[in-house]
């Protein structure tokens, strides 16, 4: 490639990286990533049925993972 194209690509990528860094720093400063009431709102607005469903889904996920590990452990290739 020619030198002018390489310089253009380097300049554009540096600019975009700097723009992303500035956006990240702005988000950190303005509190965009802070959600202090997330867990409280979850407990406050979730009903008993939703919480039971969530617990049941976690159990099913855990059982499926254990079943998968057991299958992998029992697997033996054919000689």
pLDDT in tens, 47-59: 788 878 888 999 9
Q: Are 33 and 27 in contact (CB under 8 A)?
A: yes
> Six-digit token pair at 79?
């000689």
DSSP 18-56: HHHHHHHHHHHHHTTT--TTHHHHHHHH--HHHHHHHHH
Q: How far apart are CA 37 and CA 31, in angstroms?
A: 13
DSSP state of 78: -
Report how far Cα 13 is from the mean position of its chain's Cα atoms. Answer: 25
pTM above 0.85, yes or no: no
Position 6 pLDDT exceeds 90: yes
pLDDT in tens, 12-49: 999 999 999 999 999 999 988 787 776 676 667 677 88
């Amino acid at each position: 490639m020619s030198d002018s194209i390489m310089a253009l690509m380097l300049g554009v990528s540096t600019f975009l990286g700097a723009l992303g860094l500035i956006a990240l720093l702005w988000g950190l400063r303005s509190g965009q990533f802070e959600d202090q009431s997330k867990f409280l709102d979850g407990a406050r607005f979730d009903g008993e049925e939703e919480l039971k469903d969530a617990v049941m889904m976690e159990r099913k996920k855990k059982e499926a993972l254990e079943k998968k590990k057991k299958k992998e452990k029992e697997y033996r290739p054919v000689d």
